[in-house]
Every structure is written in structure tokens, then in C-alpha cells.
Amino acid sequence: MKVVTPFLGTMLMAVAAPVLANDIEGIIESVDSEEETFVVQGITFETGATTFYDDGLKEFSDLHEGIRVEVDFQYQDGRHVATQIEREDPDH
């Protein structure tokens, strides 16, 4: 039994896709309302029902070109998925 447990753990780790959490700050370069995506520093971020908006932002429609934001995101399956978006403009 002790031989099977480490092997099983190794197999599970090999199958699970890694998820990397990160954050970035910058100016929104473009917004795609149909796809609910936006671009910061050349990176396209996806949003969804679980994306949290903060510091003056309440929903996706509050995002527009030219505002400075901090984006917390997860990188999974080749996609940047925004988990939290905070406005960083000093004059908001």
C-alpha cells in the first residue's frame, strides 16, 4: 500500500493543469464589450461572473480605454483570467 500512494500522488500531479496567480498594473489599451475582454500591457484578460471589481469599478461596463488598473489574474490553459480589477487612477 505504501508504494501505491506515492505513485498515485505523482500521477495526480501530472494530470492537473497548473494555475498561476499573478497581478499587473497598467493602462487599459482596449476593451471588447462583446467578448468581455480588455488589454493591459499587450495582454488580453478575460472576465466573467466571478471577476471582482473594486475601487470605483462595479462591473465590466465601467472599464474603458485610458484608465489605470491593477489586475489580479490566474494564468490557466493559455488564458489570462481576471479575478479582481482595481482602479488605480488618482483622480477617480
CATH number at residue 26: 2.40.50.320
Number of domains within the chain: 1
Predicted confidence band at 11 (pLDDT cuts at 50, 70, 90)?
very low
Q: How confident is the model over 16-44, as a mean pLDDT?
A: 90
3 occurs within a structural domain: no
Which residues span the domain enclosing 23? Answer: 19-87
Higher-confidence position of 15 and 75: 75
Q: How confident is the model over 38-52, as a mean pLDDT?
A: 97
52 occurs within a structural domain: yes
38 occurs within a structural domain: yes
61 occurs within a structural domain: yes
9 occurs within a structural domain: no
Per-residue pLDDT, 18? 64
CA-closest candidate to residue 31, choices 11, 72, 2, 59: 59
Per-residue pLDDT, 19? 63
37 occurs within a structural domain: yes
Alpha-carbon distances, residue 7 vs 11, 17, 52, 56, 64 (angstroms)? 6, 18, 38, 49, 50
